[in-house]
Structure 1
Amino acid sequence: MSAVSPVRFPDSSSPDVMRRRAWWLVALNLLIPGSAQLIAGNRRLGKVGVSCTFIVWGLIVVGLLLYWLWPVAVYTLAANPTVLAVIQVVLVVLVVIWIIFTLDTLRLVRLVKVRPTARAFVAALAVVGLVGTAGVASYGAVVAGSARSAITTIFDSGEYTPPVDGRYNILLLGGDAGPDRVGLRPDSISVASVDAQTGATVLIGIPRNSEQIRFVKGSPLYGPFPQGYNCGDPCLINYLYTYGEEHPDLYPDAEKHGSLPGIEAMRDAAEGVLGLKVQYFVLIDMKGFSDLIDALGGITIDVPERTPLAAEVPGAKPFAWVEAGKQHLGGNTALWYARSRFNTTDYSRMSRQRDVQEAILREFTPANVLLKFQGVAEAGKQVVKTDIPSVMLGLFVDLASKSRKLPVTRLELVPPDFNPAHPDYDKIAQAVAAAIAKSTPTPQP
Structure 2
Amino acid sequence: MTKLDNPIRYPDAGSSEVMTKRGWWLVLLGFFIPGAPQVLAGSRKLGRFGLGATLTLWAGIVVAVITYLVWPQAIYALFTQRIAITVVQVFLLFYAVLWLVLTLNTLRLVRIVKVKPRSRAFVAGTAVLALLLTSGSTAYAAYLLNVQRGLLGIFTQAERAEPIDGRYNILLLGADAGEDREGVRPDSITIVSVDAETGQAVMVGVPRDVRNIPIPEASPLMQVFTDGLDEGKVNGLYSSGMLNAGIYPDAAASGSNAGIEATKDGLEGLTGITIQYYVMVDMAGFAHMIDALGGVTITVESRVAMAGHGATGNIQYIEPGVQKLDGGTALWYARSRFDTTDWDRMVRQRNLQVAILEQFTPANVLSKYQGIADAGSQIITTDIPESMLAYFVDLATKTKKLEPIRVDLGPDVIDQDNPDTAYLHEHLHSVLYPPVAEESEAPAGG
Query: What is the TM-score with the length of structure 1 in the denominator?
Result: 0.94
Give the deviation of 1:65 after TM superposition: 1.2
Partner Cα separation in structure 1 for residue 275 and residue 77 of structure 2: 22
Output one character per residue of 1:114-156: Cα deviation in whole Å (capped at 9) or x when no partner.
222222221111111111112211221121111111112x111
| Structure 1 partner of 2:307 | 310
Partner Cα separation in structure 2 for residue 222 and residue 364 of structure 1: 40
Partner Cα separation in structure 1 for residue 419 and residue 179 of structure 2: 31
Output one character per residue of 1:196-227: Cα deviation in whole Å (capped at 9) or x when no partner.
11110110011111111212222101233343
Output one character per residue of 1:73-126: Cα deviation in whole Å (capped at 9) or x when no partner.
211221111111222222222221111111110101111122222222211111
Matches within 5 A, 1:195-344: 195-230=195-230, 234-312=231-309, 314-317=310-313, 319-344=315-340
Q: Which amino acid aligns with 1:220?
A: P
Tell me, what secondary structure is at the counterpart of 1:190? Answer: strand
| Structure 1 partner of 2:442 | none
Output one character per residue of 1:250-299: Cα deviation in whole Å (capped at 9) or x when no partner.
11111111111101111111111111111100000011111001111111
Q: Contact 1:201–1:439 at 8 Å: present in 2 too?
A: no
Q: Contact 1:35–1:50 at 8 Å: present in 2 too?
A: yes
Give the deviation of 1:58 after TM superposition: 1.4
| 1:5 counterpart = 2:6 | yes
Partner Cα separation in structure 1 for residue 345 and residue 146 of structure 2: 38
Partner Cα separation in structure 1 for residue 242 and residue 223 of structure 2: 17
Give the deviation of 1:439 after TM superposition: 11
Output one character per residue of 1:217-252: Cα deviation in whole Å (capped at 9) or x when no partner.
22101233343113xxx2111111011111111111
Gaps of 5+ in 2: 440-446
Partner Cα separation in structure 2 for residue 221 and residue 402 of structure 1: 36
| Structure 2 partner of 1:434 | 430
Q: Percent identity?
A: 46
Partner Cα separation in structure 1 for residue 224 and residue 355 of structure 2: 39
Partner Cα separation in structure 2 for residue 119 and residue 316 of structure 1: 68
Q: Contact 1:190–1:204 at 8 Å: present in 2 too?
A: yes
| Structure 1 partner of 2:383 | 387
Matches within 5 A, 1:148-187: 148-152=149-153, 154-187=154-187
Give the deviation of 1:60 after TM superposition: 1.3
Q: Which amino acid aligns with 1:239?
A: G
**Which stretch of the first structure deviates more once superposed, 356-365 or 112-121?**
112-121
Q: Which amino acid aligns with 1:387?
A: D
Tell me, what secondary structure is at the counterpart of 2:193? Answer: strand
Q: Which amino acid aligns with 1:146?
A: V
Match of 1:359 among 348, 355, 361: 355
Partner Cα separation in structure 2 for residue 194 and residue 24 of structure 1: 55
| Structure 2 partner of 1:122 | 123
| Structure 2 partner of 1:144 | 145
Q: Which amino acid aligns with 1:289?
A: F
Q: Contact 2:311–2:338 at 8 Å: present in 1 too?
A: no
| Structure 1 partner of 2:443 | none
Tell me, what secondary structure is at the counterpart of 2:222? Answer: coil
Tell me, what secondary structure is at the counterpart of 1:5? Answer: coil
Change (3 A) 1:380 1:389: same
Q: Contact 2:213–2:421 at 8 Å: present in 1 too?
A: no
Change (3 A) 1:36 1:245: same
Output one character per residue of 1:179-201: Cα deviation in whole Å (capped at 9) or x when no partner.
11111011111100001111101
**Which stretch of the first structure deviates more once superposed, 203-212 or 217-226?**
217-226
Gaps of 5+ in 1: none
| Structure 1 partner of 2:346 | 350
Tell me, what secondary structure is at the counterpart of 2:171? Answer: strand
| Structure 2 partner of 1:415 | 411
Partner Cα separation in structure 2 for residue 144 and residue 431 of structure 1: 44
Change (3 A) 1:180 1:61: same
Output one character per residue of 1:331-365: Cα deviation in whole Å (capped at 9) or x when no partner.
10000010000001111111111111111111112
Q: Contact 2:78–2:88 at 8 Å: present in 1 too?
A: no
Tell me, what secondary structure is at the counterpart of 2:38? Answer: helix
Output one character per residue of 1:352-398: Cα deviation in whole Å (capped at 9) or x when no partner.
11111111111112221111100000000111000011111111112
| Structure 2 partner of 1:49 | 50
Partner Cα separation in structure 1 for residue 314 and residue 166 of structure 2: 46
Tell me, what secondary structure is at the counterpart of 2:7? Answer: helix
**Which stretch of the first structure deviates more once superposed, 257-266 or 314-323?**
314-323
Q: Contact 2:241–2:262 at 8 Å: present in 1 too?
A: yes
Partner Cα separation in structure 1 for residue 335 and residue 188 of structure 2: 9
Matches within 5 A, 1:52-131: 52-131=53-132
RMSD between aligned residues: 1.9
Partner Cα separation in structure 2 for residue 262 and residue 102 of structure 1: 57
Tell me, what secondary structure is at the counterpart of 2:229? Answer: coil
Partner Cα separation in structure 2 for residue 294 and residue 116 of structure 1: 48
Q: Contact 2:185–2:236 at 8 Å: present in 1 too?
A: yes
Change (3 A) 1:84 1:216: same
- How many equivalent pairs are there? 438
Partner Cα separation in structure 1 for residue 226 and residue 387 of structure 2: 36
Q: Contact 2:77–2:84 at 8 Å: present in 1 too?
A: no
Partner Cα separation in structure 1 for residue 243 and residue 5 of structure 2: 80
Q: Contact 1:200–1:441 at 8 Å: present in 2 too?
A: no
Give the deviation of 1:311 after TM superposition: 2.0
Tell me, what secondary structure is at the counterpart of 1:128? Answer: helix
